[in-house]
Structures are given as structure tokens and as C-alpha cells.
Structure 1
Amino acid sequence: MCDDFTEQDNEKFRQAGGQFNRRDFSKLSVAAVVSLCFGGLANASAVLSTELTESEVDVPMQNGVSDSYFVHPAKGQYPGILLWPDIRGLRPAFKAMARRLAAEGYAVLVVNPFYRDAKAPVVSPGEQFSDPKVRERLIPFYRNLNHQASMSDARDYIAFIDKQSAVDTTRKIGTAGYCMGGPLIMRTAGAVPTRVGAAASFHGGGLVTEESDSPHLLIANSPAHVLHAIAENDDERFPSVKHDLAKAYKAAGVPAEIEVYKGTLHGWCPPDSSVYNEQQAEKAWARMLALFKTALV
């Protein structure tokens, strides 16, 4: 999870001329956001040409209604994907990422994880978690998304996905999460083990804790194949996490790809992040696509 230590690292990166601070994301058009999301992708033109159907949807939950975003190819049925955003929540960058994923042949639901407290977006264009006022606003939202709440939410989101005509329910569901979404993909896999076939975490925080509800304790509950893409500075602070995860997956007999991405800082994947690392974000994206292709059968 983002905290003061990761923000100190990120601020050093920005002061040293970090790549994304040369662009003012708040001034980018939707088309520009999409362009950033596709980066140097070799088949970007073919993917961008895929006709998509997208909509703002209200997902009925045990604790209210989650205003979310659903996108899929215009024709046919596809595996469902539950996409958990980072702590800045559902916003244009994640909608663009969802469109990119949908164009690869998936029906993608990006959720507002903070629906209990506020409608999306919960940040304004250009706002970063490094701003103390932003952190003060978002941390209480995050704390309300505790273990019990997120397990309940995962069940409700997957139930919604399975009711959509664009979803092929004969195929397993995938889930992906960023930052605080790391624990959420593990809880999703544990909450609905018969439906989730693959789970991908990018610079996830709080994956292994000493609490009785630590996400890693759910590993034995789910057969989902897993990807953990770990930020280098997260690994420097918590070097044992990768080993604890590997041990738990091995004991459960669950395939898992766990890698520390060199030269990355916590938050490097979303294209509106101040520490966005395009080369490593593209690598992580490619590994997620490979996971979904093989595990969502």
C-alpha cells in the first residue's frame, strides 16, 4: 500500500526528473490517456480498432450500489475480468486500461472500491497520493474496505459479471489489482474460488501481514494461477514478502509467477502515476495477458 515511505521514494524520483512529471496528466485528453496506456505496443493499431461496447453501470451490493465501468468487445462472449484500481480509485486512466484489456478479448468490470463513501472519481485530474490533503481524504475510504467488506464485495462483483450477456460463463474469471488492489485480488480468489482462474497483482501492498486475516493465508483456498509484479522499492523495504508468497503458493500447489521489477517504484504501472515506468509497465501487462490466456479456460 502507498505510505509515507513510498511517497518519499517517489518524491526523490520526481525531483530527479522522473519521466511522467514532464507531462501534465490533468491536461491530457481521453485519446491521449488511451495513447499512454498503449505505449509502444506493437499491435496497438489492431487492438485500438476493435469495436467495443462500454457503459457506466450500477452494481448492486450488500452494502449499497457501486458505480462502476463495464467494457467488452461489441460482439460475442468473453471471459470476465474484475479490475481493482489503486487507492486513487476509478478514474480515466483505469477506464483506458480496461478498454485496452477488453480489446484483447475480455469483458472488463472496473469498480469503484470506495462506493460506501463516495461516487467515482474520488480524485480530480492530476491529484496524486503524495498530496497530504489527498491522503487525508482517501485513507478513511481505504480503511472501510476491510477484509470482510472486500470479500463480500468480490462476491457481489463476480455475481454481476456472470449475469452479463457478453460474459462467457463457461470460462473462468480473472482479476487484476494495483497497489491496494493487490490484497483485493487475493481476497477475490479466496472469496469465489470456483470462478476465479487467474489473479494478477501489480505493486501490491499488504500481501503478507502478521494479522489473522492476512491475504496470503487465503492462498490455500483457491486454485487460481497468480502473478505478483513487485516494485523494487517495495521489495527493498519488505524483502521477505516474495519468499513468504512463494512458500505459500508452493505448499498449496498453485502456479505463481513472482518477480521484482528492476528500477521500479511503488505505483509504476498506471499511466497517470507520477512514477510511471512505461517499459516495465508494458512487461507487466504482457505477463498478465499471458496469465489470462493460459488460466482462464
Structure 2
Amino acid sequence: MCHSTDSRPPAPPIQGEVASQEQIELTAADGNRFLAYRADPAEPNGRNVVILPDVRGLHPFYRDLAVRFAEAGFRAIAIDYFGRTAGLTDRGEDFEYMPHVNQLKHDQVRADVRAATDVLAADRGPVFTVGFCLGGALSWRQAAEGNGLAGGIGFYSTLRFVDDPTTGPGAPILGLLGGADKATTPERLDAYLAALDRTGTEHEIHVYQGAPHSFFDRSYKEWEEVCQDAWRRMLSFTERHSPG
């Protein structure tokens, strides 16, 4: 699974000032209340991201990552998945996440992502999802379904958490994967990409040879150049798929 030994995510290539950052509560359309972390840039680039964490939910790594996105000019909200089953409690290192992961339902995740998307869309500008592991697969699913998104980015998306898309075309998808990642087999990835082709959903996949699962959080110091390249590709993707 995804385990971070460092609390600070890799820096984006260009860093700016953060105007504000705070933990907030959001309410989904079905009444679910859940924690999120919002960070806003001093100089917005006009783009927004909803961060979908790995199995740990709103772990401190993802609060820090929201700040990193804000430093790069994005309005960012990192969400927690487990408001329905674990309430508004902390997602620290001692949080036992798997019982809650096993209770996740896609329609509930969609509702929670929508709540964050609506907050960001109120300030205008395109909204992208960016996810990791479980969140990477969910990010791809959100984009493949459309959901008003400009695109969906997945780091080492673990595809056992989602089904292949059957309708489309959805919003464009970017995949940033580790060549040594064993969480998703090449055959499973090929099947998923073939489904995207069938539904007409635009996608681009980049595989970093030798990089492991969780290269962006668990071992980013060892894979610093890979992480910086992933940042650049992500920034380029969001710029290319933003209106105007």
C-alpha cells in the first residue's frame, strides 16, 4: 500500500506564495459531512484541482500537497473519503483505513468529489482531479464519466478499485505510472486503456521505467527527477486542457 516516510511532497518547478490554507468541512448532496483541506494561491493560474488521496484518506501528506499545488498557482482541495464510516476524525499514521476503504461506494465518492468541485468552480476556471493509488483510479473514473471535469490525472492508479468505462467520451486522462509498480498488472492496464479507446476518451500515459508504486510520496527523494518530470507533465496537461 501507499506509505509516506516524509511529510513534505516534492516541490513544483515554480513556487509562488500561498494566500490561505485551512482544514474545512464539506457537505455532499446526500448530506454526508467530510473533512477536506483547502489551499489558495496568491497568484492564481486560473486552474483548480481536487486531490484524491490514496487509501489513507486525508493524510498529512495530502494536506501538504494541496499547499504545493497552491504554490504552483492552483486553487486546491484535498478530500477525505471516510466521512460516512469514520466521521470527522484524524487520518494520522494510526488510522486503520482498510475497513473504511472496503465500504467505499462509487456513487458516494462521486458525490463527495462534486462537493469539492462545486466549491472550486464557484471561483471559475476548469477543475481537474489528481489522484494517487486508490485516488488515481478514482480520478480516472471521475474523468471518464465526465462529471463536469476538464481532466483527470492518476499517479500509479490501482485499477482493481474501478471497473472499465462503458460510456463516453469523458474528460481527458493523464496517467503517470511506475514501471516497477506491481499493484496493477500490464494486462489490466491494457484492458482499461482499450476501454478508454472504445469510449473515445482521450488519454496519455507515461511510464517511468524502474519507478515503484508510490514513487511520488514514499520514495520521492530517490526519484526526485521523476517527480519533477511528473510535475511538468501535469502542469502541461492542465494548461493544454484549460479553455482559452
Q: TM-score, normalised by structure 1?
A: 0.71
How far is the alpha carbon of 1:77 from its aligned partner?
7.7
- Quick check: 240-249 or 137-146, which moved more? 240-249
Q: Please, what TM-score do these two structures have when normalized by structure 2?
A: 0.84
Render the CA deviation track for 1:173-209: whole Å, top value 9, x for unaligned.
1011001002211332255x252011100011126x8
Aligned-partner SS, 1:87: coil
Query: The residue matched to 2:233 in structure 1 has which SS?
Result: helix
| 1:263-278 to 2 correspondences below 5 Å | 263-270=210-217, 273=218, 277-278=223-224
The ranges of structure 1 where at least 4 consecutive aligned residues each deviate by more than 6 angstroms after the TM superposition are: none
Structure with max Cα Rg = 1
Aligned residues: 240
Q: Does 1:108 align with 2:76?
A: yes
Q: Please state if 1:290 is matched with 2:236.
A: yes
Structure with greater proportional helix content: 1
Q: Does 1:242 align with 2:189?
A: yes
Superposition deviation, residue 84 in structure 1: 0.5
> What percentage of aligned pairs have identical amino acids?
20
2:88 corresponds to which residue? 119
Note the residue ranges of structure 1 that are not aligned, 5 or more in a row: 11-19, 128-133
Task: State the alpha-carbon separation in 1 of the partners of residues 215 and 45 from structure 2.
Answer: 32
What is the match of residue 223 of structure 1?
170
Change (3 A) 1:122 1:254: same
- Which residue of structure 2 lines up, in the alignment, with residue 174 of structure 1? 128
Superposed CA RMSD in Å reads: 2.8
Instruction: Report Cα offsets for 1:229-252 as digits up to 9, x if no partner.
Output: 222233586111332233223223
User: 2:72 & 2:163 partners in 1: Cα distance?
Assistant: 29
Q: Give the 3 Å change call, closer, same or farther, for CA 110–120 of structure 1 in structure 2.
A: farther
| Correspondences of 1:249-264 after superposition (within 5 Å) | 249-264=196-211
1:69–1:110: 8 Å Cα contact kept in structure 2? yes
Alignment of 1:1-297 (within 5 A): 2=1, 25=6, 33=8, 37-38=10-11, 42-43=13-14, 47=15, 49-61=16-28, 62-74=30-42, 78-116=46-84, 117-119=86-88, 121-124=90-93, 137-163=96-122, 167-168=123-124, 171-190=125-144, 193=146, 195-206=148-159, 214-217=162-165, 220-234=167-181, 238-270=185-217, 273=218, 277-297=223-243
* Alpha-carbon distance in 2 for matches of 1:153, 1:203: 22
Equivalent residue of 1:53, what SS?
A: strand
CA distance in 1 between partners of 2:107 and 2:26 (Å): 18
